[in-house]
Structure 1
Amino acid sequence: MIVFWRMLLVLLLTDFVFQPKNFYIWKARSWVGQMAHLAIFFTLAVLLTRDYLHLVWFNWFGLNLTGIPTILFFSLLHLCMDKLFYSSCISNEYCGIKKDIPVMYKFLWHELFVLMAIFVMSPHIEITQGHNMFPEWWVIALVGLIFVSQAVNMLIATYETKWFQSVTFTDYNYITALQRVVFYGLCLLPGYSWILFIIVWFWLCYYFSKTKVLDISKVNLYLGSALSVVTGLLVRAVIYYL
C-alpha cells in the first residue's frame, strides 16, 4: 500500500496545498491553469513513487500499465473529474454537473471518485510491502494533517458558504484550521495525557466561541473538532499499534 498512500498524499497536496488563493479562479477559467494543476500532480506523483515506477500498477483484461502511464492516465482522469464537478463553480452557488446539487455533495463525490481511482490504479499490496496496509506512518500522518487542516476546511466551507467564498481563504479559515491541527496533534502524543489536553482544548475553544473572542461557527466547532479527533485517533492507532 506504499504507492496508494503516497498517491493519496500527492492528491491532497495538489488539491489543498499547492493551490494559492486565486488558483481556483485561474484553473476554472483557463486551460493553462488546468494544465498547471495537472503538471503539479504528475510531477509530485512521479517524485514520491519513483522507486515503484517500474512495477505494473494497473492490470485490466491483459492491459498492463506501469507507473508513468498509470500516473498520466490518472492525471487526465483527475482533470476530467475537476471539470465535471467544478467547471462552473466560480460564478454559481451550485456548479458542475447539475446546478440543483449542493456544492458540498459534489465535493464529497469528487473526492470519493478520485480516492477509488487511486485505490484501483495502485499496485497490489504484496508487490510493494508484503501485506502491510499501513507501511509508512509518516505518510499517513501527513495525510491526516492535510485532511484536518485543509480538506475539512473546504468541506465545512462548502456547507456554510458559497463556493467562491470557500476557495478564498480568510483569517477565519486559518484560525479554524489551526484549532483542528491542535486537536489532531494532541491525539498523537504518547501515553494518556492527550485525553486531558483534548478536553481542556475543546473547553477553551468552546469558551472563546461563546464569548466571541474567536468567531467560530457551531459546525466548525463541533464537526471540525470531531473529525480532527477521529482522524487523530486513527493515525495514532497506525503509529503506536499497527
Structure 2
Amino acid sequence: MAYRNLSTAIAMSQHCSNLRSTLHTGLSAEAQLQMNKLARIKSYRKGETIVAQTDDMNIIGTVLNGVLRSNRTSSDGRHQIVCLLLPSDVFGRVYIRTSHVSIEAASDSTVCTYDRQAIEKLMAQFPEIEHRMIVVLSQQLDAAHDWMLMIATQSVLERVAMFLLICRNAGLSKPHLDNLSVTIPISRGDMAAHLGTTIESICRALQTMKKLGVIRTILPTQIEIMNLDRLVIMSNCGLEDAEASLDDFEINKDQGSERIHALTVLTDSAPKSVH
C-alpha cells in the first residue's frame, strides 16, 4: 500500500534519502531533492507480488527493510530463486520495460520506489544520477559473479555459513543473550534452491554447525550464532572482507587456514549428497 497523506509522503520520501536508499548515495543536494520528489514508500506483506515476470517494470526500487525474493520460472515450469534482495539492494532497470523476473516479498517489507520513466528523464538532467545507476548495476554484476563462483566452488557447508553471515550483515539479526540471533527470511526449500543444493543437505550442514558449537536453533526461522569466529572461517570467505564487515573481530590468517582444514576433516565423514 502507498502512503497517500501528503505530509506523510514528504516525510517518507526524506526517509528514502536519509536511511538506506542506495540510489541517493553521493548525489548533490539538488539531485537528491529531485529524487525525493519522485520517491514513494510502499509496504508489502509476506508473499505479495511486487512485479510479475514478463509484466511492465515501471518502477526502480530499493529495499528499506525486510527481504524481497527475485524468482524466475522457465518455460517448462521450473522455479528458481535468482537472488534475495536485502536492505539497501536495488531492483528494476532503467531503459528496460519488461521484467524478466518476478519480485515478491519474502517477508513483510518496505521499499522506496521511483517511477522508471521519471528517473530516466532525471538522468538526462543530472549525469551524476546516471553515474550512480551505472555504479549500482556494476556492483550487482560483480555480486552475481561472486555468487556464481561460490555456488560452483564452495561446499554446502561453506555456502550455508556464508548465507548466515549475509543475513547477519544485512540487518536480519538481533541480540540474544550474549550472542546474536539471525532471522532466516525464507523456507528451507527456498534456501536450498537459492544455494544450489537440496533441503537434506541444508539440514545436514546446519546440524554439523550445531555439533561444532557454531550455531544453535531457537526456532526454524531463527538461529543463534554461538561462535562468529568459527562461522566466518567455515564460510571460507575472503578474510580481509570479513574483517572489514565484522565489528571488533580479528583473525590470524594462518590459524584460520589450519582451522578450515580441521573443520574439513570433521565434516568429511558426514554423508555426501548429490547436487
Q: Which has the higher strand share?
A: 2
Q: Which has the higher helix share?
A: 1
Larger Cα-atom Rg: 2
TM normalised by structure 1 equals 0.32
- Higher relative contact order, structure no. (Cα contacts within 8 Å, ≥ 6 residues apart): 1
TM normalised by structure 2 equals 0.29
